[in-house]
A and B are shown apart, each in its own frame.
Chain A
Amino acid sequence: MKRIQCILSLALAALLLLPMGAALAVDDGFSSTYTYNYDYWTDLRESPDAYRVDQVVYSASLELDQPLRKPQSLYVHENDLYVCDTGNNRILQLRRDADKKFSLVCVIDKISGAQPETFNSPNDMALDPEGNLYVCDTNNNRVIKADKNLNYLQSFTKPQDTTFDQNLSFLPSKLVVDTTGRVFVLATHVNKGLVKYEADGTFTGFVGANTVKYNMWEYIWKTFFTTKEQRAQQVAFVPTEYENIYIDKEGFIYATNIVFSEYDLLYDVAKPIRRLNSIGSDILIKNDRYPPIGDLSWVEGSNDYGPSKFKDITVLDNDIYIAVDRTRGRLFGYDPQGIMLWAFGTKGNSEGAFLSAVSIEHMDHDLLVLDENESSITVFTPTEYGSLIYQANDQYLKGDYDGSADTWREVLKLNANYNSAFIGIGRALMRQEQYGEAMEYFKMAHDRENYGRAYRYYRKILVEKNVGWALAVIVVLVVVPMVIRKVKAAKEEVEAYERRKIAH
């Protein structure tokens, strides 16, 4: 007994020491892949390219007299691409012809009838459905509106309102125009939200202010443990400005936000991408395990460590939105449910890499990315893989679930790590009442809700199918011995009675 105890104690001690010896698997997180996606464990998974560079448009290829200088924004209207050439105080109108070549149509550098006529660092522009042109003429402190022939119509200037701090200079940097001609302006140093003007130019308030965030300890510390002088030195609790805005076809404004602490990303407090409704609340759908925040893990110790910061966002006609990140020069595509479709891009000088991407636009499914420092526009076209993903999403939205599942199967042939494909196929299988197979697909994608749903049907069928012989077994095992016992007891009773009768 003693010896066994001794041996066991030794074995336990050995068990204790083992983990110390076991080497920890080191994941350096480095991957050279261009296009990737995240798996369930938020590990980076290489994937086929969803987009490839179709062409890169430079000043030289457009035969410009003056090369682009610090261009800030792109705007697409049908086949026309407008580039805000901010450093040269002008806007270029390019047109894409049938074989996808861009050529210069005209240079917009003044609005006739305006005061002054020329622009001073125009940062953004937009067109309304009638074709009127709106320009964020930043250093002239105005948003200028002109008709198709570039005749001055009106300008939107600093709101003469008590809610607007009159000491601030009005520096509009981004703008969107909705279908009714209302103008939403993002102005530098204005942290109350987007400045909203009615079509006639009257200021009607702010929309979608970023709420102020501070935690309890910060508040207690600042209120009770700091002097007035110290507080004046510290950063005040102020809401942050948005970085960029985009209006989708339904009139909802997508806004990106790059001022937040890393910690806030954890519980979806930072909300780097928002979809604002008319009263300014965020209605972006987030059905993935992680909200759309770009990269989920960052390479430790690299130069560009840190969260993704979205410089601009664009929304395709199928509600898929694509945001461009300046930290690592990447593009992130999300479906309307907030599930990441793919991510690609890198920093650098080569084709498909960016030095500082500032703006993104789309023509159908082609993506156009403007690089401020390279003064170039990179045009991406979807590959077969990328198109299949879009097709499957479109089919699903239209209600063609089986067709969508077939498309997802094609996607899986190209990328066996694609979670959405597994879920898509699983859903279609569930509609065809093939619950067992559906479960397998959902399990591959770690989709608990759908797995549970499929499993309930599966279990129901299993029980219904087997309830007959299960009951039979119960009858044989429980009821039959019980009856036998009863019969035996009765028999004995009868015999006992008989015996007593005889005894009498």
Chain B
Amino acid sequence: MNGAKSLTDGMAAPAERGAGWKRYKASLKYGFYVIFHPFDGFWDLVHEQRGSLMAAHTWLFLFLLTYVLRLLLTNFQFITAPIQYINIYEQCGSLLFPFLVLCLANWALSTLFDGKGRFKDIYMAMCYALIPYVLIQLPLILVSNMISFDEAAYYQVLGSASIIWCVFLAFVGLMQVHDYTPGKTLIFLFFTVFGALVILFLILVFFSLLSDAIGFFVSLYREVAFRLY
């Protein structure tokens, strides 16, 4: 009996894993639909569960990868990255940290003002909004090594297009996730930045208080040690 049970367990697990994998692949691919049909796409992404957190993580990772590769491999005619000073972790952190703080601030504010999105939804939508950057900048790295300085205009137009597309997607994404009107989204974008600053302030205060508290105990210990000897 025991043996039979373990057999069925073994049978079920790969099937489940296969289904998860299939869903992951579908949600990853769904990104291509989202960037071309943002209004439908973002709505279905969160409300019809077409996206997945894993796919969002993947796109975010690809975004960071593209960013780093761009710094390292773009031809020197188009980018002046002081490679000897670049720290990849620092670069990724300087993108990821504000990204997450902004998501958090947006979530914190929109929850108070009947936004429909959960933190997970906002994060997912924002990650999907980064897809054009990956799709355009990655080939542009190759292109930059095939064109000359005089043709920089093409390179720059495409580069700016990728950013503008991303910003537009982020805007539509937030609108659809929260079921807001465009005007309200715009106002909340503004407040999000403000909220992010507040969060940064709180983090700073927390760490400075923490270091003060630690400092207090350290000096207390020193005082006691000094008295005892």
- List A residues at the B interface (Cβ < 8 Å): 1, 4-5, 8, 12, 15-16, 18-20, 22, 25, 41, 443, 446, 448-449, 451-453, 455-456, 459
Identify A459's interface contact among B53, B90, B93, B148, CB under 8 A.
B148
- Report the separation of the CA atoms of residues A28 and B183 in the bound assembly, to the nearest whole angstrom: 50
The list of the 5 closest CB pairs from A to B, nearest first, reads A452-B149, A19-B93, A452-B148, A19-B90, A18-B89
With CB as the reference atom, state the residue of chain B lying closest to A446: B76
Interface-facing stretch out of B31-39, B94-102, B174-182:
B94-102
| B-side contacts of A4, CB under 8 Å | 54
Does B111 make an interface contact (CB < 8 A)? Answer: no
A459 to B146, CA, bound (A): 8
* B201 interface contact, C-beta 8 A: no
Query: Which of B77, B80, B100 interacts with A451 by CB under 8 Å?
Result: B77
Which residue of A1, A18, A41, A448 contacts B82 across the interface (Cβ within 8 Å)?
A41
Contact indicator B53/A443 (Cβ below 8 Å): no
Q: Which residues of B contact A459 (CB under 8 A)?
A: 146, 148
Known interface pairs A5-B54, A25-B85, A449-B149; 19 further A-B residue pairs with C-beta atoms within 8 A, sorted by A's residue number: A1-B54, A4-B54, A8-B57, A15-B89, A15-B96, A16-B93, A18-B90, A19-B87, A19-B90, A22-B89, A41-B84, A443-B76, A448-B76, A448-B77, A448-B149, A451-B77, A452-B148, A455-B149, A459-B146
Q: Given the known inter-chain contacts A16-B96, A16-B100, A451-B77, please indicate yes or no for A456 contacting B89, CB distance below 8 A.
A: no
Assembled-state Cα–Cα distance A16/B96 (Å):
7
> In the complex, which of the residues A16, A22, A25, A451 contacts B149, with contact meaning CB atoms closer than 8 Å?
A451
B53: nearest chain-A partner, CB-CB: A5
B150 within 8 A of A: yes
Across the two chains, which residue of chain A brings its CB closest to B17? A1
Q: How far is the CA of A41 from the CA of B54 in the complex (A)?
A: 41
B92 within 8 A of A: yes
Grouping DSSP codes into helix (H, G, I), strand (E, B) and loop, the B interface class, with mixed when no group exceeds half, is: helix
Q: A442 to chain B: closest CB distance in Å?
A: 10
Q: Return chain A residues, CB-CB under 8 Å to B87.
A: 19, 22
Interface residues of B in 37-89 (CB under 8 A from A): 53-54, 57, 76-77, 80, 82, 84-85, 87, 89
Any A CB within 8 A of the CB of B18: no
A20 to B92, CA, bound (A): 12
Whether B97 pairs with A16 at a CB distance below 8 angstroms is yes
In the bound complex, CA of A455 to CA of B149 (Å)? 9
Chain A binding surface SS class: helix
Chain B neighbourhood of A8, CB < 8 A: 54, 57
Interface code B136-160, partner A: CB below 8 Å = 1, 0 otherwise? Answer: 0000000000101110000000000
Determine which residue in A16, A19, A25, A443 has the highest number of CB atoms from chain B within 10 A of its CB, and name it: A19
Q: Shortest distance in angstroms between B119's beta carbon and chain A's nearest beta carbon?
A: 12
List, in ascending order, chain A residues with CB within 8 A of B77's CB.
Answer: 448, 451-452
In the complex, which residues of chain A have a beta carbon less than 8 angstroms from the beta carbon of B215? Answer: none
Residue numbers in B under 8 Å from A455 (CB-CB): 148-149
Q: How far is the CB of B68 from chain A (nearest CB, A)?
A: 12
Which residue of chain B has its CB nearest to the CB of A41?
B82
A426 CB to nearest B CB, Å: 14
Cβ distance A39 to chain B, nearest Cβ, rounded Å: 11
Collect the chain A residues with CB atoms within 8 Å of residue B92's CB.
15, 19
Q: Which residues of B from 191 to 221 have beta carbons under 8 Å from A? A: none
A15 vs B76: C-alpha distance when bound (angstroms) = 28
Select which of A1, A12, A453 is within 8 A of B148 by beta carbon: A453
Contacts of A41 in B (CB 8 A): 82, 84
Write 6 A-B pairs (CB below 8 A) sorted by A numbering: A5-B57, A41-B84, A451-B76, A451-B77, A453-B148, A456-B150
Which residues from A are CB-within-8-Å of B54? 1, 4-5, 8
Q: How far is the CA of A456 from the CA of B147 in the complex (A)?
A: 8
Query: Which residues of chain A come closer than 8 Å to B97, judged between CB atoms?
Result: 16
**Does B90 lie within 8 Å of A22, measured CB to CB?**
yes
B94: which A residues are within 8 A, CB to CB? 19
Q: How far is the CB of B9 from chain A (nearest CB, A)?
A: 17
In the bound complex, CA of A443 to CA of B87 (Å): 22
Chain B residues positioned under 8 Å from A18 (CB to CB): 89-90, 93
A337 to B57, CA, bound (A): 51
Among residues of A, the one whose C-beta sits closest to the C-beta of B92 is A15
Q: How far is the CB of A9 from chain B (nearest CB, A)?
A: 8
CB distance from B80 to the nearest CB of A (A): 8
Q: How far is the CB of A454 from chain B (nearest CB, A)?
A: 9
Residues in B whose Cβ lies below 8 Å from that of A452: 77, 148-150
Shortest A11–chain B CB gap in Å is: 9
Most buried by A among B80, B96, B149: B149
Question: Which chain A residue lies CB-closest to B149?
Answer: A452
CA distance A448 to B144 in the complex (A): 13
Complex-state Cα separation, A451 to B80, whole angstroms:
14
A452 CA to B145 CA in the complex, in Å?
A: 11
Closest Cβ of chain B to A107, distance in Å, is 57
Residues of chain B lying within 8 A (CB to CB) of residue A22: 87, 89-90
**Binary interface profile of B, 113-137, with partner A (CB < 8 Å = 1, else 0)?**
0000000000000000000000000
Known: A5-B54, A19-B94. Is A456-B85 also a contact (CB below 8 A)? no
Q: How far is the CA of A448 from the CA of B78 in the complex (A)?
A: 8
- Pairwise interchain contact B53-A19, C-beta atoms closer than 8 A: no
Partner of B96, one of A12, A443, A446, A451: A12
> Please, how many angstroms separate the alpha-carbon atoms of A448 and B162 in the complex?
24
Q: What is the bound-complex CA distance between A41 and B81, given in angstroms? A: 10
Whether the Cβ atoms of B150 and A19 lie closer than 8 Å is: no
Q: Could you tell me the distance between the alpha carbons of A449 and B148 in the complex, rounded to whole angstroms?
A: 9
User: Which residues on A sit within 8 Å (CB–CB) of B146?
Assistant: 459
Give the shortest distance, in Å, between B148 (CB) and chain A (any CB). Answer: 4
Complex CA gap A57/B206 in Å reads: 66
Q: How far is A187 from B87 in the complex, measured between Cα atoms in Å?
A: 54
A22 vs B88: C-alpha distance in the bound complex, in angstroms?
A: 11
Chain A residue numbers with a CB within 8 Å of B149 are 448-449, 451-453, 455
A456 to B148, CA, bound (A): 6
CB closest residue in chain A, given B84: A41
